[in-house]
Amino acid sequence: MHEFRYVNGRLQCEGVALDALVKQHGTPLYVYSQSTLEDHYQKLDDALAPLDHLICFAMKANSNCAVMRTLADCGGGFDTVSEGELRRVIAAGGDPRKCVFAGVGKTEREIEFALRKGIYSFNVESEPELIRINKVAARLKKTAPIAVRVNPNVDAGTHAKITTGTYENKFGIAFEEVEGVYARARKLKHIRLRGVQMHIGSQLTEVKPFELAVRKMLPLVERLKARHALEFFSIGGGLGIIYQSALASAAPEWWQASAAKKILTPAKYAATLVPLLQPLGLRIIIEPGRFIVGNAGVLVTRVEYVKRTGRKNFVIVDAAMNDLIRPAFYDSYHEIVPLQKKGGATVSSDVVGPVCESGDYFCKDRPLPKVGEGDHLALLSAGAYGFVMASNYNSRALATEVLVKRRKSAVVRPRQKIEAIWETEQPAPWQKR
Ligand SMILES: *Cc1c(COP(=O)(O)O)cnc(C)c1O
């Protein structure tokens, strides 16, 4: 469920009209709903209540400090993948002791930083990494808490670029090799075997792949727990969200009727997984990113031109792939709606940005209400993997981000100044004039 809906024909977020925000802050504009973030966190927290659990928000999905502050205030920890992310946790007021550190390429410097900050666990992706962590910990006279990321070789049945749990990709240690790795890791003096981890992919809309992966892992986790006194089992993130009919999904009735629909609610997820996990007697960690923040954000853009060619109706907007790369990168669908509700016939349209790439489009041949120059559109469900993947391609400034909470709104990142894009660049000494 989320807090974006039409009220008297105007698209609102928690009682704040988005066209009013546009007047104040311009476009392209990311708008996040704090109550939606809190609701999603709470729904997961409630669903997992029968278990000793920790929710580590996968901050790569959205690392704006205000978004992170919201989740830290809910009691959440963070799933981090770099020194930069860990530093951001601290800047946002989060607790490093509730952080896990994932990723296949941790550098010595990153490991040292994480150790000094006392993170909860390193999610280790290879044996060379384990040896490196042990070495750095020895140098600092510390003990590094670790979990091995197991690749359970279960196909999540999602987009190829977001599948992570099969032997075709770079993540984790093969299921069959894991026990050997733990046995060898145990001999490393500066390693503490604290848990075991998996993450099979993203945007999973059914519970089945999670269930298959957990069932496959259970005997292994039992054995590892018995042998090495593990404390936790992290089942990763990956809960999918609604991208189509995103607006309809704001309605409580729609949400309640969801049992019949093909969407994965925390209740469904927990109904299947909690009974499997409970007998383990371990702390369970989940690392949701998209589920918490995806539907909690929209990207608002202005229509600059409507260009009709022989075959096509192009709606050219002021946001582009540098602001939201998901359609270009993952073929993703984002629902696109006008800020002022429009009746009448629809026109099959391509919504495109101004960037010089054919891949710079938000939708193709989609029936949309007729719009013209100066109208505004919202790209829904843009809260996850949106702003975080933005770039300065075409020397376009990074968009403004606004957080809304119950009729209040605040800029949580001002629009980047155009000059700031090249501020730190300089000519080589021999080019000075
Ligand atoms: C990306 C990632 C997540 C979060 O994935 P979502 O689909 O956004 O929930 C969690 N854990 C790991 C290890 C990841 O790489």
The model's pLDDT over 178-206, given as tens digits with 9 standing for 90+, comes to 999 999 999 999 999 999 999 999 999 99
Q: Are residues 153 and 77 in the same domain?
A: yes
Q: Number of structural domains, the chain?
A: 2
Instruction: Give the residue ranges of DSSP H helices in 124-249.
Output: 127-139, 178-185, 208-228
Annotation marks residue 356 as catalytic: yes
Could you say which of 224, 255, 290 is where a domain stops?
Answer: 290
| 243-296 pLDDT per residue, tens | 988 888 888 777 777 655 667 899 999 999 999 999 999 999 999 999 999 999
The answer to whether residue 331 is domain-embedded is yes
Gap from CA of 199 to ligand 1 centroid (Å): 7
Ligand 1 nearest atom to the CA of residue 240, by list position = 7
Query: Average pLDDT of 104-129?
Result: 97
- Of residues 258 and 35, more confidently modeled: 35
Is there a contact between 120 and 100 (Cβ–Cβ < 8 Å)?
yes
- Looking at residue 248, its pLDDT comes to 83
- Looking at residue 254, its pLDDT comes to 75
Lining residues, ligand 1, CB within 6 Å? 58, 60-61, 79, 102, 199, 202, 236-239, 287-291, 384
Average pLDDT, the chain: 95
* Cα 76 to Cα 81: distance, rounded to the nearest angstrom: 16
* Cα 256 to Cα 263: distance, rounded to the nearest angstrom: 11
Ligand 1 nearest atom to the CA of residue 203, by list position = 7
Gap from CA of 368 to ligand 1 centroid (Å): 32
Q: Are residues 301 and 336 in the same domain?
A: yes
Q: Name residue, tokens 């920790």.
A: 54
Gap from CA of 289 to ligand 1 centroid (Å): 6
Mutate to test the pocket of ligand 1, among 40, 122, 202, 241 (most ligand atoms within 8 A of CB): 202
Tokens of 7: 């009220």
Q: Are residues 55 and 72 in the same domain?
A: yes
Q: Are residues 145 and 278 in the same domain?
A: yes
The answer to whether residue 368 is domain-embedded is yes
* Cα 325 to Cα 146: distance, rounded to the nearest angstrom: 33
- Looking at residue 162, its pLDDT comes to 65
The single-letter DSSP state of residue 154 is -
Mutate to test the pocket of ligand 1, among 40, 44, 60, 264 (most ligand atoms within 8 A of CB): 60
**Nearest CA owner, ligand 1 atom 3:** 237
Gap from CA of 258 to ligand 1 centroid (Å): 24
Tokens of 20: 């009013």
Strand bridging mode 361-369 / 346-352: antiparallel
Q: Are residues 111 and 257 in the same domain?
A: yes
* Cα 318 to Cα 352: distance, rounded to the nearest angstrom: 9
Read off the CATH number of the domain in which 242 is found.
Answer: 3.20.20.10
**Nearest CA owner, ligand 1 atom 13:** 199
Ligand 1 nearest atom to the CA of residue 149, by list position = 13
Identify the domain containing residue 310 by its residue range. 295-421
Between the alpha carbon of residue 159 and those of residues 23, 209, 294, the distances in Å are 37, 14, 17
Gap from CA of 164 to ligand 1 centroid (Å): 9
Q: DSSP letters along 222-291, please?
A: HHHHHHH---EEE----B----TTTTGGGSHHHHHGGGTTT---HHHHHHHHHHHHGGG-SEEEE--SHH
Query: Average pLDDT of 84-109?
Result: 98
What pTM value is reported for the model?
0.96
The answer to whether residue 165 is domain-embedded is yes
Catalytic residue selected from 13, 56, 356, 363: 356
Could you say which of 240, 255, 290 is where a domain stops?
Answer: 290
Is there a contact between 197 and 234 (Cβ–Cβ < 8 Å)?
yes
